Structure 1
Amino acid sequence: MEAVDPFDSALDLLRRLNPKHTSDHLNSIISLAPDLTEDLLASVDQPLTVKRCRDTGREYLLCDYNRDGDSYRSPWSNKFDPPLDEAGAGAGGVGAAGSEGAGEGAIPSERVRRMEVKANEAFDVYRELYYEGGVSSVYFWNLDDGFAGVVLLKKSSTPGGSSQGVWDSIHVFEAIERGRTTHYKLTSTVILSLSAAAGGSLGDMDLSGNMTRQVEQDLPVDTDDSHIANVGRLVEDMELKMRNLLQEVYFGKARDVVGDLRSVGSLSEGARDRETQREIIGSMRR
């Protein structure tokens, strides 16, 4: 009998559990299989957590791409909180070839850090235009033949009402530089959670899920600012497509199912209307 891979089994289990509680489920699995900790944290998208930068007082988002152990790097100050000791900081940073990764104290090179700062400023404006609130964070790191990064966006509804919702966007990209053009590979995940308390005998509604899409494209590049514009355009287009899919396909399908179970109007009247429509179409064809 073929051996079962514990990592695949853990991912398979997480796909079948409520996405709203992914973090709790992930922590439970890690406690049972500590050897899978790093692989699971790097592979499973979790709802984003907000933290406040000690130096600037601005909020930023936590993910595996700005994490080193239990410390997280702020995109505003470029410092880890809690601070890393010298041994931890030395494990990352600029290597002999000038390349850094995400994690293990890795701090982007000066050029990539400048782009990271501009990207955070650009997506802060993007967040205000499309979300009118929420929190955004962008993190870059070096690759041998370019750079990579992640764009994070989070918006929660105002607490205290009968309806609550949380939208988390995670856009991970690679930019492979090829002279005057760059090959971009973008992987986007949206985690959406909605709940409504109707009260009384109607009960509560809890609807949550996630969606992942990927796109690759070659775009021209003149300066480093072109990278910010190209990534921004890719993220904007992807978010609009995924939002429309959620609204038209998923919620539309839920509405169709409810309509099949319980009609708003009389079913007999609906049947007569459809029969009349068929007769009109048939007469037009004749």
Structure 2
Amino acid sequence: MADLLDSMLDLLRRLPPTQIEENVSLLVNLVPTYADDLLGSIDQPLKARVDTATGREYLACDYNRDGESYRSPWSNEYDPPLDDGTAPSPKLRKLEITMNEAFDLYRDMYYEGGLSSVYLWDLDDGGFAGVVLLKKTVTPASVAGPKGSWDSIHVFEVAERGRQAHYKLTSTVMLQLVRRKEVGGDNGSGVAEGWKHDGETNLSGSMTRQMEMDYPLQEFTAHVPNAGRMVEDMEIKIRNLLQEVYFGKTRDIVFDLRSTEDLEHARRQRELQKELAGFIRRP
């Protein structure tokens, strides 16, 4: 049966990333017994929900899900209500509140908008783990405007070793950029006919990276700056990689396929290169 799960995961890796939610839903309907395993193995775009107790939005994912309910980091309550839902210990809950406040400031500084949520849970070996979620969505101001989304999922495990702590971080960033070109027109009487679809550019995908670090731990609240430093460094690294892969490589491919210069200019450039090469070879 494990081969079946591997086959589903392999299939999802080959399908368009923009349709990941629809495809996961189809597979869950086909093999409902693997729903939890599949949802726990596939990162999907984060969903925003509203905490009915506080009125604040939070991000929902598999890490704050219990059955069909999701736990809010603000009130620590499940929606729909769940009497025996999983929750962090009181000590860890205090740290969770502090980390949510810290990453809310981080979100405002780096994203200038969007949403953030942090969830922590106890591990059987005495340590704990958590996830930092960040999401920013850009909606088009007009029909032809660009739209996109950035979803960050940072899962970390912590093992305390006296006055030091070992952190293992696994970060996944999902990026979607859509640029649609629309042209408008009229029917000759000055009345607009509406927008016509003229073309679309869609850059979508995900990137996952891991890192491990040891940091000093003078007190329990030191986990906040330690985890924050790792997430910050990882996001900067992934952003630079995405910029190189998505934009640099795309630009190179387009220029290889179609030159922006005319043939006459290219011919003169080649002749100039040959002439310079001749001067260099002369004794």
TM-score by length of 1: 0.87
Map 1:116-135 to 2 at 5 A: 116-135=96-115
For residue 137 of structure 2, what is the amino acid of its counterpart?
A: S
Equivalent residue for 1:208, pick from 204, 208, 211: 204
> How far has the Cα of 1:269 moved from its partner?
3.2
Is this contact kept in 1: 2:203–2:246, CA < 8 A?
no
In structure 1, the residue matched to 2:78 is 80
Bigger Cα Rg: 2
2:42 aligned to which of 32, 41, 44? 44
Q: Secondary structure at the match of 2:87?
A: coil
Describe how 1:54-93 pairs up with structure 2 within 5 A.
54-85=52-83, 89=84
Which AA in structure 1 matches 2:65?
R
Aligned pair partner of 2:244 in 212, 227, 248: 248
Q: Distance in 2 between matches of 1:238 and 1:30?
A: 32
TM-fit CA distance, 1:224: 1.7
In structure 1, what residue type is equivalent to 2:130?
G
Which has the higher mean CA deviation after the structures are superposed, 125-134 or 200-209?
200-209
Deviation at 1:277, TM superposition (A): 6.5
Separation in 2 of the partners of 1:80 and 1:44? 23
Q: What is the match of residue 128 of structure 2?
A: 147
Label 1:265 to 1:180 Cα distance change in 2 as closer, same or farther (>3 A): same
- Provide the residue aligned with 2:20 in structure 1: 22
1:190 aligns with 2:173: yes
> How many angstroms does 1:218 deviate by?
1.1
Once the two structures are TM-superposed, the CA of residue 159 in structure 1 deviates from its matched residue by: 3.9
Structure 2 stretches lacking a partner, 5+ long: 184-196
**Contact in 1 for aligned 2:163/2:218 (Cα 8 Å):** yes
Matched, 1:170 2:168: no
Deviates more, 1:205-214 or 1:268-277: 268-277
Residue 219 of structure 1: how far off its partner (Å): 1.2
Q: What SS does structure 2 have at the residue aligned with 1:198?
A: strand
SS for the counterpart of 1:78 is coil
Whichever residue aligns with residue 169 of structure 2, its letter is L
Shift of 1:275: 7.1
Farther-moved stretch of structure 1 (56-65 vs 263-272): 263-272
Match of 1:99 in 2: none
Structure 1 spans left out of the alignment, 5+ residues: 90-104
What is the aligned-residue identity percentage? 57
Instruction: For residues 207-234 of structure 1, give each alpha carbon's deviation from its aligned partner in whole angstroms, at most 9, with x where no partner exists.
Output: 2101100101111111122110010000
Q: Which residue of 2 aligns with 1:102?
A: none
Structure 1 CA distance, aligned partners of 2:222 and 2:107? Answer: 20
For 1:189 and 1:267, how far apart are their aligned partners in 2?
44
The worse-fitting range, judged by mean Cα deviation, of 74-83 and 264-273 is 264-273
| Alpha-carbon distance in structure 1 between the residues aligned to 2:271 and 2:245 | 27
Which residue number in structure 2 is paired with residue 111 of structure 1? 91
Query: Is 1:260 the equivalent of 2:256?
Result: yes
| Residue-pair matches, total | 265
CA distance in 1, matches of 2:121, 2:92: 7
- Which residue in 2 is equivalent to 1:98? none
Shift of 1:266: 2.8
Q: Does the aligned pair in 1 maintain the 2:46–2:61 contact within 8 Å?
A: yes
Query: 1:67-112 CA deviation, whole Å, 9 max, x = no partner?
Result: 0111100000000011114xxx0xxxxxxxxxxxxxxx21101111
